[in-house]
Amino acid sequence: MQIFLAVMLLAGLALRSGGVVVNASIGLLVTFLPGILERDLGIPMDAGLALWISAAVFLHALGTIAWPGIGKPYANVWWWDHLTHALSASIVAGVGYATTRAVDIHSDAVSFPPRFHFVFILLFVLAFGVLWEVIEFGISLLAGYTGTPGVLTQYGLSDSMLDLVFNTIGAILVAVYGSNQLGEVTDALTARLDDSRG
């Protein structure tokens, strides 16, 4: 995935395509995040978690380039946007789950019942999703105002609402299955909080 994103970045630079350059650059940087989190912060990142994070940015970047016979998957493959939103939202939900669970374990003054975790993850992802849609809309307006090609594409209000539905699906998957996949991450965050109390 990193090699593909690096090639995509070079192609974007050669073709002077700002959208491709930005999407490939951000995607490439994010693929290094699991290694940085593990090496510098001691947060365990197994191959599954690294793949989960990398796949989200890889599929997003892949969807922004025109392919022979298909065109841009975001525009021409009906399920592409849904898949990438659900996958990205699941990562946001994972961060929310691991953080709140670590705070819950760490502090005697804080107690989050299981139902709270579920509701918090949904609200956290929906808030982040709304913020993302506003950013997307703002970038689209700015691109139209300046006459430059947009880095992100806004397809209208119905698309934004559908994006939020698939964000919710990603959040529900993490809320239901997060404890199994994020246990080691939660333990590491809890240990860091315990160390900071000192």
Q: Which two tokens stand for residue 57?
A: 């940015």
Distance CA 103, CA 193 (A): 8
141-23-29-171 Cα dihedral, nearest 10 degrees: 70
Task: State CA 137 to chain mean position distance.
Answer: 18
- The whole-number pLDDT of residue 141 equals 83
Judge contact between 110 and 104, C-beta under 8 A.
yes
Domain boundary assignment for the chain: 1-77, 78-198
Distance CA 119, CA 155 (A): 29
Low-confidence ranges of the chain (pLDDT < 70): 149-154, 197-198
Radius of gyration of the chain (CA): 18
DSSP of 89-113? HHHHHHHHHHHHHHHHHH-SS----
DSSP of 137-155? HHHHHHHHHHT---SS---
Helix (H, G, I), strand (E, B) or coil at 71: strand
For residue 26, the 8-state DSSP code is H
pTM for the model stands at: 0.84
Q: Any long-range contacts for 137-145 (C-beta under 8 Å, 24+ apart)?
A: none
Tell me the per-residue pLDDT of 128-176, one tens digit each, with 9 for 90 and over.
999 988 888 888 888 788 877 666 666 777 888 888 999 999 999 888 8
- The whole-number pLDDT of residue 150 equals 66
Distance CA 144, CA 15 (A): 21
Helix (H, G, I), strand (E, B) or coil at 79: coil
Distance CA 14, CA 20 (A): 11
One-letter amino acid identity for 120?
Answer: F
Distance CA 84, CA 75 (A): 13
Q: Which two tokens stand for residue 143?
A: 């691109």
